[in-house]
Amino acid sequence: MACAPVVWVMLAKIPPLPIQGLAIGVAVCALWIENVIIGLFFPVVVDVFGVASTFFLIVGLGAIAMAFVYYHVPEIKGRSLEQIEAYFRARFAKEAN
């Protein structure tokens, strides 16, 4: 999937510094569990929907993921972890009000 590298880059950038190690560990564990589930159910989905439909479904989900990244993931190039944390704090403080 085209967005897969984004996940690994963002894992190191999103969690606040005090809990970064724990947060990355939990996120990586969740990603591996997700990969196992996808691997287990992929043959079932292919049997039910067929190969072509399954891959069109994957393409559709990839397009949704790319749109999400484009509209909701900020540019982090050249920013320190502290600057990124301040950005997210400001962004979500506005949304909480």
Establish if 43 belongs to a structural domain: yes
pLDDT in tens, the chain (97 residues): 445 677 787 787 778 778 888 999 998 898 889 889 989 999 999 999 999 999 999 899 889 988 888 887 777 778 887 888 888 888 888 666 5
Establish if 17 belongs to a structural domain: no
For residue 90 the two structure tokens come to 């400001």
Establish if 38 belongs to a structural domain: yes
Contact assessment for residue 41 and residue 57, using Cβ atoms and an 8 Å cutoff? no
Q: What is the DSSP letter of 52?
A: H
For the entire predicted model, the pTM comes to 0.63
Quote the domain boundaries for residue 69.
25-74
Count of structural domains within the chain = 1
Establish if 6 belongs to a structural domain: no
Establish if 8 belongs to a structural domain: no
Q: CA dist 65 to 15, 53, 61, 69, Å?
A: 20, 18, 6, 6
What's the CA dihedral at 11, 24, 60, 45 to 10 degrees?
160
